[in-house]
Structure 1
Amino acid sequence: MNYKDVKYTQLSNKTEVCSRCCTPRKLFTYFFILTVTLIGLLVTCYSHSSVCNKNDFRKVHMRQTKRRLPHCIIIGARKAGTRALLTYLGVHPDIQTAQYEVHFFDNQDNYDFGYGWYLKQMPYSFPDQLTIEKSPAYFTEPFVPGRVYSLNSTIKLLLIVRDPVQRTISDQLQLNYKGLDMGLELKPFEELVLNPKTGNIDMNFKPVQRSYYDVYMKNWLKYFPLNQFHIVDGDQLISDPYPEIYKVESFLGLRHAIPESDFVYNATKGFYCLKTDTAYHKCLSGTKGRSHPHIHKEVIDKLKQVFWKHNENFFELVNQRFFWNNKTMTSKIGK
């Protein structure tokens, strides 16, 4: 063995010894970094429960999670605040929400896919979480209650309603924006809601028909008892959301995990946002909170007259009164 071979052997032995020595150090370093990171996450989760909770994993299949059929459905009403309600409930650590409107029970093509397809539209959830989906069209379609009953006769149902006059205007405003996207010519609200021959409210105008809450509620009550419904005041949800969310938590049998301090009023948007950490407020999209166009008072009064009896019937059906028929109320519409 020559000098070069001896030197190479010594170098190899030295490298091997170093490698054996360094490997445990590297493992310890990696383990230490991982431990510190996990501790940091746990501290964040416990100190800011609305920031880091099990909802972060709704799209991830983790151990103990699986897709579950909804325990509760927000059935409507359209343009009454269903998206706001779902957004607020979505931060609750014991709730998982479907991220888009599934339209399973009201869309025949979707319904034909079966319950297996419906299940696949649901988020992953832990065993102690409730799954909620919302599709506002469910409330007004006559065949939907029977389909929901066939799936789950004990399911809990959330219905959010607001002043039917405001709901009607919001409904048409939404249709107007869709029409703009399609390049359609838009007509003033008054021309659409009034019968040109009589000057009275057009009872066939879809946004008006969808505000007959009593008609649709009667149909739902044929299948489900009133104690399986919780009626959310959509007007109150806009002006002071915390009490409404508190009542929903109670109805669902959940702990009250969304504190009042998490609701922060956004003056720019004109409604409340959710404080999910110290620097970020979870708000609805820019399409929400659109200002209503000016509507002639005469048209507003005619709409109130049309809805008055329907409102009274609805109040009796749900054993709950709203301010809509209060003639002393100063309406924000038309101002």
Structure 2
Amino acid sequence: MVGPHLVGFKTVTSAGRAVRGRSQQERDRAGGWGKVETGRSQPQPRLSPFSRAAGWDPPALMPPTSSGCGPSTPSLSLMPRTLDGQITMEKTPSYFVTREAPRRIHGMSPATKLIVVVRNPVTRAISDYAQMLSKTPGLPSFGTLAFRRGLGPVDTAWSAVRIGLYAQHLDNWLRYFPLSRFLFVSGERLVSDPAGELGHVQDFLGLKRVVTDKHFYFNATKGFPCLKKAQGSGHPRCLGKSKGRPHPRVPEAMVQRLRAFYRPFNRKFYQMTGQDFGWD
């Protein structure tokens, strides 16, 4: 029997696999929105003996066609084998902002559960820019990219801005999946209270609460919590070098303009999810 999958939309940034073999009847998935919150939530559920996750990040459920020009049929063949009672996780942030992803994933398994990790879209946009800048030195300034002609309206054509329109992306997903199939995780609380947020994740998946406070310690250098073995054995696992990098300085006037721009979208997102993330 094909088992449960978890599609998690990590604070948006990468991917995983699908099921071959036995497991439960539900499917769960974990995804993210382009740097909505890259990779913070996915390693933790791996601590649970009841979950299996891919060890690499191919967009398994939205693979390219043979021509390499676009997605074809979602592939379950890349997912790890699972046992009865286990859940298979797959994480690809880009799913959330890919228009055809909901239809394709629903066609593969309408029982899929989806975990979405979101953070303040203004902070997310600046963080996304910092990542771009680290890979492409000499990139135009943040203001030049975020605002048309550097002075005009907010430029939603820029991916770092567009990804933060969470309500619009969620609206596309709700055409195929009911709200009950989603768990929305606060990226801010995932940093300040990782065990608490992971507790909600485990409850949502119907897993025993195995991941607790004893699995975390705060890394002051990174500014994020790190994972450790409950018994203190083994090496702790912290975020990679690409995480926790300093953000470029953005003028406060630009930050305020972005906050004003996102405010109505944020409020709609709060209404849609029934959660106030406190970004305003």
Q: Is it true that 1:80 corresponds to 2:36 in the alignment? A: yes
> What percent of counterpart residues are identical?
31
Distance in 1 (CA, whole Å) between partners of 2:71 and 2:255 is 42
Q: CA deviation at 1:128?
A: 2.2
Kindly indicate whether residue 203 of structure 2 is the aligned counterpart of residue 285 of structure 1. no
2:133 counterpart letter in structure 1: N
Structure-2 residue corresponding to 1:174: 131
- Corresponding residue number in structure 2 for 1:295: 250
Alpha-carbon distance between aligned partners in 2 of 1:246 and 1:130, rounded to the nearest angstrom = 16
Q: Distance in 2 between matches of 1:301 and 1:179?
A: 26
Distance 1:197 1:289 in 2: 27
Matched, 1:324 2:255: no
Give per-residue Cα distances to partners, 1:269-312, cap 9 Å, x unaligned. 21101112525211121111112111100100010011000001
Counterparts of residues 1-335 of structure 1 (less than 5 Å) = 66=21, 71-109=27-65, 114-115=73-74, 118-180=75-137, 185-196=138-149, 198-276=151-229, 277-279=231-233, 280-325=235-280
Aligned-residue RMSD, C-alpha: 2.3
Structure 2: gaps of 5 or more residues: 1-19
Q: Which has the higher contact order (CA 8 A, sep 6+)?
A: 2
Contact 1:75 1:136 (C-alpha < 8 Å) held by counterparts: yes
* Amino acid across the alignment from 2:28: C
- TM-score w.r.t. structure 1 length? 0.71
Q: Deviations over 1:92-144 (max 9, x none)?
A: 111111122232444442776645xx233222332221110000000011111
Q: Is the 8 A contact 1:68 1:123 kept in 2?
A: no
Could you say what secondary structure the match of 1:309 adopts? helix
In structure 2, what is the Cα distance between the partners aligned to 1:213 and 1:234?
14
From the superposition, tell whether residues 294 and 198 of structure 1 become closer, same or farther in structure 2 (CA, over 3 Å). Answer: closer
Describe the shift of the 1:262–1:192 C-alpha distance in structure 2 as closer, same or farther (beyond 3 A): same
Please list the CA deviations of residues 146-195 of structure 1 after superposition, one character each: whole Å capped at 9, or x if unmatched: 00110001111111100000111112222222324xxxx32221221122
Alpha carbons of 1:311 and 1:119: their partners in 2 closer, same or farther (altered >3 Å)? Answer: same
Which has the larger share of helix? Answer: 1
Change (3 A) 1:68 1:102: farther
CA separation of 1:112 and 1:297: change in aligned 2, threshold 3 A = closer
| Letter in structure 2 aligned against 1:139 | F
SS in 1 for 2:217: strand
2:203 partner amino acid: S
Alpha-carbon separation, structure 2, partners of 1:104 and 1:262: 29
Per-residue displacement from partner, 1:52-103 (whole Å, max 9, x unpaired)?
xxxxxxxxxxxxx948799211121221224110011111111111122232
Following superposition, the deviation at residue 198 of structure 1 comes to: 4.3
CA–CA distance in 1 between the matches of 2:278 and 2:116?
17
Which ranges in structure 1 are unaligned for 5 or more consecutive residues?
1-64, 326-335
Q: Say if 1:151 and 1:143 are closer, same or farther in 2 by CA, change over 3 A.
A: same
Q: How many residues align?
A: 256
Partners of 1:286 and 1:203 in 2: CA distance: 29
Q: Using structure 2 for the length normalisation, give the TM-score.
A: 0.84
1:212-255 Cα offsets, whole Å, 9 max, x none, are: 00001011001111000000001110121111000010000000
User: C-alpha distance in 1, partners of 2:72/2:277?
Assistant: 39
The separation in 2 between residues aligned to 1:232 and 1:290, in whole angstroms, is 22
Distance between the aligned counterparts of 1:223 and 1:113, measured in 2? 18
